[in-house]
Amino acid sequence: MCGITGYIGKREAYPIVIKGLQRLEYRGYDSAGLMLYNQDETSVFKTKGKVVDLEAIVSEENRHGNICIGHTRWATHGVPNDVNSHPHVSNSGDLTIIHNGIIENYDTIKNELVQRGYQFKSDTDTEVLVNLIEEVQIQEKCPIAKAVQLALNDVIGAYAIAVFDKKEPNKLVAAKLGSPLAIGIGENNEEFFIASDASPFIEYTKNAIYLQDEELAVIEKNTAVEVRKIHDDSSVEPEIHALKLNLAQIEKEGFDHFMLKEIYEQPKAIIDTYRGRLLPNEGIIRMAGVEEYIDRFKSANRIIIIACGTSWHAGLVAEYLFEDLARIPVEVEYASEFRYRNPIITEKDVVIAISQSGETADSLAAIKMAKEAGAYVFGVCNVVGSSIARESHSGAYTHAGPEIGVASTKAFTTQITLLTLIALKLGKEKGNLSNSDFHAYLQNMELIPAKLEKILAQNDLIKEIASGFSDTPSCLFLGRGYNFPVALEGALKLKEISYIHAEGYPAAEMKHGPIALIEDDYPVIVVAINKGHYEKVVSNIQEIKSRKGKIIAVVTEGDVTVKEMADYAIEIPEVDEALSPLLTTIPLQLLSYHVAVLRGCNVDQPRNLAKSVTVE
């Protein structure tokens, strides 16, 4: 939610920040803005809309200066308009701020500031924060860094901020609690970059500090980064990380959209997930994060899976995996419900938190609660060093690489890959899986990427099928067993990027209500592979057919029965039922992608959404 970036150094700052904002646009795209400092003056440009709209309002002659901070917004407080866009400037005009997060007690602070004569132009919590910092600076007669530190001790909420004070123009002050913030360190400390993730500065430096919660950094040109604790101003020795990210990973590389690129990356992403872990020749699965706590896993009364959105769907697949292969009872919880439900958590529970970004506010709060209740928490995250990864007792990264399209694709299949490895490992350790079954699974897992390539090769066919129902206002996705969560995920993918209303259901539930929707040509996408409850799904398809619905079926290669009934069929290679979600998901991703493109939707940046949801 919201991306922030900034530059201080010797180069023209504007192009660096504009490019950085484009890379961070996945975090929110309701509005964009920046502040440039040049010849003792600050200029602020901001507008409702995207970074391209921002570029259009900054004329060539205004694009100069060596200090710039910029923001791309996902609106929380105040509608998306020019005034509510960031940066925000203090009443004196000296201080400028960009902010990702929420100040929960902004209303109380605002009332106090209003009584002291402060005026506000916007409805945002951020304008309150910058004026609070100004008021502290005036009262304490202190430098900007001290004023930021003192002011932040008065606020409740989450933030990643950068503050610039015209009176101390060689520095930026950055601080973090809850929202991510990286600082890129240029050669000889001559220049510095700040950003919500490292993507805005990877072509300039590979050295970065990831601020930790409750830390504040004073970033001074030609000097160094000084990090301090917000609550007591004590000094912290920052850890400098060598970035592994490269430019190709964050560019489209010839694909029309990031989503399509990321769909196509799945064979490699899955290999990256299981590399070094899945060892069929040795007949083992190696996972340090599980092995370290193997007794907790083996003696668990139950596994509670906490996640949101697509990650929650991966959790539902894991429910089938853990119960089926390892015989451990599983509950899958929406993090937002779990954290407010007064749930029963015991020390015998293992909590698995699944999150691509590792920053989802509800998931983070839920695992903190579970930890306090004594549960052991295992994190499944993609973003290395993210809050959920750090907050978990142990965990494993999916290594999917950056996922920039707002719609999750490779994040989902790599989460399932990782969860399958854990379920197989526990199944073996607990003696629920025979040696031969375990070995067969290891070998079959290794075949998944090649099978996935065969599905991707059907892209043209899937595009043609998409054109057959892209104008529908509504449709259903059905699946059973392991493929019920796949149906849910298929429906989520379609609705979030094409704005077609879609629902996922267990196929057998259809006759308890949704069947009423079916009329001539109503599209129903059915996962009907030859494993699990194939015959029962065939009966469900029959029920749709007799009501003249349009059937788009995902079937196993060589299928005859369903193919004869379906209007369209997409074949996937033969696969174990437990591994099938890794394949059946792909046609549904491609169908949604093509439908959305045909409808002229912004596939990578669907309306009202943001990639990482750092507010509850």
Q: Binding residues for ligand M6R, per CB under 6 A?
A: 308-311, 355-357, 360, 363, 406-408, 496, 612-613
Other Cβ atoms closer than 10 A to 239: 11
How many residues in the chain?
A: 616
Which residue lies nearer to ligand M6R by CB, 287 or 366?
366
Strand stretches in 122-238, DSSP E: 157-165, 171-177, 182-185, 192-195, 207-210, 215-220, 225-229, 235-236
**Is position 2 annotated as part of the catalytic site?**
yes
Shortest distance in whole angstroms from residue 216 CB to ligand M6R: 26
- Looking at residue 533, its amino acid is H
Closest by CA position to 14, among listed 6, 4, 22: 6
Q: Give least dist CB 350 to ligand M6R, A.
A: 19
| Token code pair at residue 148 | 């930021």
Least distance (Å) between residue 33 CB and ligand M6R = 25
The nearest distance, CB 407 to ligand M6R, in angstroms, is 4
In order, the DSSP letters of 516-528 are: GG--TT-EEEEE-
Helix axes of 410-429 and 581-598: crossing angle, nearest 10 degrees:
170
The answer to whether the beta carbons of residues 199 and 248 sit under 8 Å apart is no
Q: Which is nearer to ligand M6R, 540 or 592 (CB)?
A: 592
Which residue is closest to ligand M6R by CB?
309
Residue 523: is the preceding peptide bond cis (ω within 30°)?
no
> Which of 50, 146, 171, 611 is the catalytic position?
611
CA–CA dist 207, 572 (Å, integer): 44
Give the β-pairing of 41-48 and 31-38. antiparallel
Which string of b and e fits 321-331 if b means at least 16 CB within 10 Å?
A: bbebbbebebe
Nearer residue to ligand M6R within complex by CB, 308 or 416 = 308
- Contact status, residue 272 vs residue 401, Cβ threshold 8 Å: yes
165: three-class secondary structure by DSSP: strand
**What gap in Å lies between CA 119 and CA 422, rounded to an integer?**
56
Q: Choose between 106 and 264: whose C-beta lies nearer to ligand M6R.
A: 264
Active-site residue, from 2, 68, 475, 601: 2
Name the minimum Å distance from CB 368 to ligand M6R. 15
Q: Give least dist CB 411 to ligand M6R, A.
A: 6
What does the radius of gyration of the chain's CA atoms come to, in whole angstroms?
26
Of 122 and 249, nearer to ligand M6R (C-beta) is 249
* Minimal distance, residue 491 CB to ligand M6R, in Å: 11
Query: 358 or 479: whose CB is closer to ligand M6R?
Result: 358
Compute the half-sphere exposure of residue 391: CA atoms within 13 Å on the CB side of its CA.
27
Residue 117 burial by Cβ neighbours in a 10 Å radius (0-12, 13-18, 19+): exposed
Of the two residues 47 and 356, which places its CB atom closer to ligand M6R in the complex? 356
Within 13 Å, how many C-alpha atoms sit on residue 184's CB side?
27
φ/ψ (deg, to 5) at 595: -60, -45
Distance CA 22, CA 27 (A): 10
Closer to ligand M6R at the Cβ: 434 or 608? 608
482 touches 581 (CB < 8 A):
yes
Contact by Cβ (8 Å): 304, 352: yes
Cα separations (Å) of 449 from 268, 543, 575? Answer: 7, 34, 12
Closest CB 513 distance from ligand M6R, rounded Å = 24
CB nearer to ligand M6R: pick between 84 and 398: 398
Give least dist CB 198 to ligand M6R, A: 17
To the query of whether residue 611 is one of the catalytic residues in this protein, the response is: yes
Q: How many contiguous H segments (helices) and E segments (strands) does the chain have?
A: 20, 27
Q: Taking the chain, what is the end-to-end CA distance rounded to the nearest angstrom?
A: 11
Q: How far apart are CA 509 and CA 48, in angstroms?
A: 44
Q: In what helix (H) or strand (E) does residue 362 lie, and over which residues does it extend?
A: helix 361-372
Q: SS3 of 94, please?
A: coil
Residue 397 Cβ vs ligand M6R, minimum distance, rounded to whole Å: 13
Q: Can you tell me whether residue 382 is helix, strand or coil?
A: coil
Q: Any idea which residues carry the catalytic annotation?
A: 2, 611
